[in-house]
Structures are given as structure tokens and as C-alpha cells.
Amino acid sequence: MDQEARRWQTGGMPSAVRRAAARRTPAELPIALDRGAEAPLPVQLAAALRDAIDRGALRPGEALPATRGLAARLGVARGVAVAAYEQLIAEGYLLAGHGRGTVVHPELGAVRGAVRGGGTRAAQAPIAGRADPPSAVPTAARPGPLTVGVPDTSAVDTPAWRAAWRRAAARAHLEAPELGDPRLREEIAEHLRRMRGTQRPAADVIVTAGARDGLDLLLAALAGGRGRALAVGVEDPGYPSLRRVAARHSAEIVALPADAEGLDARALPERGLDAVIVTPSHQYPLGGSLPLGRRRELLAWAARTGAVIVEDDYDSELRHTGSPLPALAALDDPIGGSVALLGTFSKTVSPALSAGYLLAPAGLRAVIEPVRHELGGPVSAVVQAALAEYLASGELRRHTARMRRRYAARRELVVERLGGIAGVRVRPMSGGLHAVLEFAGDPGEGDPERGGAAEIEARICGLAADRRLGAVPLSAYWQRRAGAEAAGPASAVGASGVGSRSDATAGRFGLVIGTGGPDALRFDRALRELRALLSAEFGAE
């Protein structure tokens, strides 16, 4: 009899069984939160758990305490723990499921390895056979100067910002209502009226932990009682973050063609879709704005089919030219409409807030609100109170105006540093925190020694990754490559009866770079370094 068997017979469990049992027992880590610190409590808690995972104190597959129990042990509102968990779930550190609680992501080693590896593969499982581009900044390492999705937060710390947090500190011990602090909901409604052209009451606003949390809430509400997986249309190319949220709900993901003006509403199927995720004000990554005619076609399609339009307001307020465009929700019916507007303060203020909103007409709210009441509110009372103060002071509008000017200067620097290289086009962009460089030439043909655009893209991305610049491949934002067959029925527009699009619009090659990093000198040096790489590749100065 071997040693493990003898231990089992004498009452001791085999080591593998003991380890499995231990992982199912929630860990109790020594966590200290500083109520006097400037960082909000959810941010502190998320940082402490993230550090414990990075150090190996919490291991893949290990269970975490329930949010209610953890909040009680730390002496904070449950919303603090909920917000911290949801932030780490969004980052890929944690995994949650109905009936099994929250655990450290079992595949964390592979996920973190993919993130550290230079950034041309997604940190999440690919959808329909295509790897999504990296959209989240690795938290264990300093982001590169050209990393996509990183806003400049260096100008946030103003007297108005500090005053808002001082006044909010008095509410740190309170738990906000599930739908959100009433004052914050009023301020968000007023902010959207001024900045996005909507005329909606505060009752239409639900406070969320960001756009991903808002979509998670909406999809959970839509899926209730259907008895089948949802079918969700996404722009192709498109921003991968919300697409991953839909995939976590086991939704069928249907790729819909987008061009320089955004989603092609005429290509939408007349049946088969429950929801469509769109970025009408600033399409990602191509930067187009949906014209009024297409907006009306999209709303008419939703009214005919009963589908919900999920409007992702990504980067909409950060326009370099002109004023922000009205939201699609501004054209929608406030009672029986079909548009759910998702917004976040991550890009205009700071990702550390983990706060945003969902604006929905009365009919949709009737389905969403019971789910939110059941799940609880994810944003702490102190964060909501501080945001309400900050919005009421008018400082967010002033801060956004300052950042628009700063990002416009960054955009001009991109054109100055990277323009004029034969074979490389800096795509026109009217706003946002990124720039797109397109490579000329056929994807598969070119100089036998250099290869086509696809090979050049892979080579440049590899060199940029070696230098930790943060650039990512443009082609990764398409679910299908040019000339390739769809990986499966969920990835093809034709799966819903529309017919596949032409190869000419099925993918482009180049780079997507971020323009929002806080270090201006580091950003400029990175652009010069990237130009040297491109010039060496394309043989032009």
C-alpha cells in the first residue's frame, strides 16, 4: 500500500483532495483599508486582492469570501466589496458563476502570460475562433506609452476634486440604494442633457460600475425567462471589451459590418437578433460617426424587430473637432424606446473610479430594475457622493474641455511624427484616445522577402512589443480576416440571413496606438521610436 493510500485509510485525505477542499474554502487574507487615504475604498480593496493574487497568496481556483461576509469583516458597505470583485472580474483576475461563488480565475497563469507576452493576443478566450486585441492595461506592469485605452489622469487632482471627496467622506459608512444615489442620478441626467443632448428624468438613470457592468446587468435582464441563449450583434471591426461580456453570458455573437461611417444599418437582419451593440458617436477603432440617416434606419429596425440597441458611449465626449455629437438615445422614445445607453467615467475622469451609468427608457427599466435590486448596487456610497459633488460643481465639464485640448495636441503630434511614410496612412480621427495607422498593399501579396501587409503588421507589432511601446495590430479588431471563411456561424453576418460581406471590408492591417498616456515626453519618444521602426520597414523617411 502506498503512502497516500495509508493516509487515506488512517483518516487522512490525499494531498490532492486536501488541496481541492482547501481551494473551496474561502481565503481569509489580512486586508487593511485606509479611510483617510485619497483612493476610494473599492479601489484599495481591489488593489489589495490584486496584489495577493500577483504574489501567489491567492492561487488560481481558490475561493474568495462572499461579498457580504467580506464587507462585514472589513467594516465597509457591501457595495465596496462588490465593486472590487467586479473590477477584478473585468480584469480577468477573478471568475464568478451562479451557485459557485467567486474564485481566482482557474486559468490565470495562461491569461497573465498572454498579457505579459507583448500584447498581440487577447487575455480572454477568443470568440468564434478569432483572438481579440488586448483592450485592458496589464495591472502588474507599467503600461507602454502607446498602450490603447489609457487616459491621462494627471490633471484630475484639482481643488474641486479634493473638495468633492472631503464632503463625500461623511457618507463612507452608508450603503447607496441599489439603483444609485438619487443625487448622483439627477446629476448624471443633467450631465447627459448638457453633453449628449438627452432629455431624460433621473429615474431613467441606473448607476453602474462602468460600461461592462451595465451591459452585464442588461443582458441578465434580457435573458430572464427566454429559455435560450441571446443572439447579440456586434460591429465588425469593433471594441472587444463589451463583446466579451456578451460571450460570458453564452450569447451567440453575430458580426455585423461597419465601415468609415459606423454600423451599416441596411445590412441588419430582420430576425434572429435580441440586441445590437453599437458605438454611433465614435466607432472603434475606425473612428466614424453614424450619420443621422443611418441612426433613423437603426431605430426603425429596432422598432420592427423588437431588438434592443446597446449604445456604447465610448470616447464620445473627447472630440478634438467640434462639439460632442448627440447620443442615439436622444432620438429614442423615452417610454417605449429600444436604446440602452452605456456610459463610464473611466476615460473622462479615471478608471480607478469604476463608476458609470445605464440610461434606459421606462419599458426597458421595468425589466432591468428587478435584476439590479436582486444583485445589489456595485458602487460604494462614498464614490457616488463624490461624483455627485464633482458633477454639481461643473468641474467635470471644465476638466473634459481641458483634456480635449490636450488630446487634440497629442493627435497633431501623431500626424507630425508618423505622417509622410510611404505605405503608412494615419487615419483621420475626430476624437478619442487612440490613432489608427493603416498599411498599404494586398494582405497576402508583396515583396517576397518582406511579405504582404499581414506579415509586415506581425513583424512591426513584434518589434514594438520588444520595446514595450504598447501598439496593437489593427487586423485583430475584425472577427474575420480578409478572404477567410467565417470561423463559425456565430461569427458571420450570413448566419442571420444577411449574406457575407465582401473581402474588401473584411479586414485591414496596421497598428492601433493609444494617445492618452500621462507622460508627454515618453509619448513623444515612443512616437519617434515607432517612426524609426516603420521607416526601416517601408524604406522611407
Within 8 A by CB and 6+ apart from 209, the residues are 82, 83, 86, 87, 354, 355, 356, 378, 379
Q: Reply yes or no on whether the pLDDT at 1 is more than 50.
A: no
Share of the chain above pLDDT 70, in %: 79
Residues whose CB is less than 8 angstroms from the CB of residue 272 and which lie 6 or more positions away in sequence, other chains included: 231, 254, 495, 496, 497
Q: Tell me if 13 sits within 8 A of 7, measured CB to CB.
A: yes
C-alpha cell at 139: 495591472
Whole-number pLDDT of residue 141:
46
Please enumerate in sequence order all residues whose Cβ is within 8 A of that of 114, keeping only pairs 6 or more positions apart, or say none: 121, 122, 123
* DSSP assigned state of 130: B
DSSP string, 227-240: -S--EEEEEES--H
Cell of 406: 490636450
- How many whole angstroms separate alpha carbon 196 and alpha carbon 359? 12
pLDDT computed for residue 2 by the predictor: 45
In this predicted structure, the answer to whether residue 453 has a pLDDT above a threshold of 90 is no
Q: Residue 95 in 3-state DSSP?
A: strand
Higher pLDDT, 259 or 139: 259
Q: Does residue 91 carry a pLDDT above 60? A: yes
- Domain 159-395 = CATH 1.10.287.180: no
What radius of gyration do the chain's Cα atoms show? 24
Share the mean pLDDT of the chain: 80
Greatest mean pLDDT among 245-249, 323-327, 370-374 lies in 370-374
CATH class of 16-106: mainly alpha
Backbone phi, then psi, for 189, in 5-degree steps? Answer: -60, -40
Residue 77 vs residue 443, higher pLDDT: 77
Task: Provide mean pLDDT across the span 497-513.
Answer: 58
Helices and strands per DSSP (H, E), number in the chain? 16, 14
List pLDDT tens digits, range 348-402.
898 888 899 999 999 999 999 999 999 999 999 999 999 999 999 999 999 988 9
Query: Is residue 140 pLDDT above 50, yes or no?
Result: no
At 222, the amino acid letter reads: L
pLDDT value, residue 311: 96
Domain boundaries along the sequence of the chain: 16-106, 159-395, 398-538
Kindly state the average pLDDT of the residues 199-224.
Answer: 94
Range picked from 85-89, 151-155, 301-305 for highest mean pLDDT: 301-305
pLDDT score recorded for residue 121: 28
Which residue type occupies 479? Q
Phi, psi of 336 (to 5 degrees): -105, 20
Average pLDDT over residues 283-309: 92
Is residue 119 over pLDDT 50? Answer: no
Q: Please say whether the structural domain 398-538 has been given the CATH code 3.20.20.70.
A: no
Q: Which of 42-56, 198-212, 479-493 has the lowest mean pLDDT?
A: 479-493
Of 139-148, 326-335, 435-444, 473-482, give the range with the top mean pLDDT.
Answer: 326-335
Backbone angles phi, psi at 513, to 5 degrees: -125, 145
